[in-house]
Amino acid sequence: MKVLIVEDDPLHRSYLHEAVCAALPECDTVIEAENGTAGERLARDHKSAHIVMDLQMASRNGIEAARTIWKERPETRILFWSNYSDEAYVRGVSRIVPDGAAYGYVLKSASDERLKLALRSIFVESQCVIDREVRGLQQKSLGQTNGFTDSEYEILVDIALGLTDRAIARRRNLSLRSVQNRLQQLYDKLDVYQTAGDDHEDGRFNLRARAVTVALLRKLLNYSALERAETELQEWLESGR
């Protein structure tokens, strides 16, 4: 078995290397990459089927690297190992996992034994392993609790990108009224009216800007999510649709 570690922190790479060797005695080769770009290249060169992936890296983040790797080899098993359980990261991972893929999302705060168990469960037994905290956010992101539906989240991202109601309607194939209704649902779920108080009525608060601010503070959006969204927006604009 070959295992590819994609992690930009040298100490964390070393820790993962030891954990992989301890948890997987059948592993005879451990390959290391210092960022997502190198990870994509090494995964392609070595046809890596087992990968441990950090999420936040300076040069190409883990979500983008995993998206490329899964597009080329959807059977690849990936364990995401991260400091972050932000909904933006959790939603980003959920959007790219191929049907039937064995993968995991374990926080770096997890115990050594928890990490080793995840490595064996995913790479040997083909089971999915998701930390409880992350699983709760996944359920919210899928609309199973009082979170955002995918369509509501798309509109949140669109207003963060600066699109008007009419542009959102065109991009998402919605009526203008549907966009405005979903904006109201967003404002309600983000408590925008409550945080703005009566000031939104006299023009001192822009509700769209306030919604984006609240979403950032609640970690529903982050730099990686917006960077990816900007790329998708430019592709849409270039397509002329």
Q: What is the DSSP string of the chain?
A: -EEEEE-S-HHHHHHHHHHHHHH-TT--EEEEESSHHHHHHHHHHHT-SEEEE-S--SSS-HHHHHHHHHHH-TT-EEEEEES---HHHHHHHHHHPPTT--EEEEETTS-HHHHHHHHHHHHTT---EE-HHHHHHHHHHTTSSSS--HHHHHHHHHHHTT--HHHHHHHHT--HHHHHHHHHHHHHHTTHHHHHGGGGGGTS--HHHHHHHHHHHTTSS-HHHHHHHHHHHHHHHHHT-
Give the integer Cα–Cα distance in Å for 193 and 212.
13
Domains in the chain with CATH codes: 2-142 (3.40.50.2300), 150-238 (1.10.10.10)
Q: State the Cα–Cα distance between residues 98 and 85, nearest whole angstrom.
A: 20
Residue 199 has pLDDT above 60, yes or no: no
Above 60 in pLDDT, residue 221?
yes
- Model pLDDT, residue 195: 63
Predicted model pTM:
0.70
Place of tokens 């037994």: 125
Average pLDDT score over the chain: 88
Among residues 54, 70, 63, 10, the alpha carbon closest in space to that of 222 is found at 63
Q: Which pairs with CB-CB distance under 8 Å and at least 24 residues apart come from 168-172?
A: 170/241, 171/236, 171/241
Q: Find the radius of gyration of the CA atoms of the chain.
A: 20
- State pLDDT tens for residues 17-62: 999 999 999 999 999 999 999 999 999 999 989 999 999 898 789 9
Cβ neighbours around 215 below 10 Å, total = 25
How far apart (Å, rounded) are the C-alpha atoms in residues 229 and 130? 25
Question: Residue 145: its pLDDT value, please?
Answer: 41
Average pLDDT over residues 146-172: 88
- The pLDDT of 143-156, averaged and rounded, is 73
User: 98-138: per-residue pLDDT in tens?
Assistant: 988 999 999 999 999 999 999 999 999 999 998 887 776 66
Q: Is the separation of the CB atoms in 40 and 68 below 8 Å?
A: yes
- Which residue has better confidence, 235 or 84? 235
Using pLDDT thresholds of 50, 70 and 90, give the confidence band for residue 140: low
- Under the banding of pLDDT at 50, 70 and 90, the label for residue 93 is confident
Lowest mean pLDDT among 36-40, 127-131, 183-187, 200-204: 200-204
Name the token pair of 116: 């080793």
pLDDT(206) > 90:
no
Tell me what percent of the residues of the chain surpass a pLDDT of 90. 57
Question: Whose CA is closest to 102, among 120, 84, 83, 82?
Answer: 120
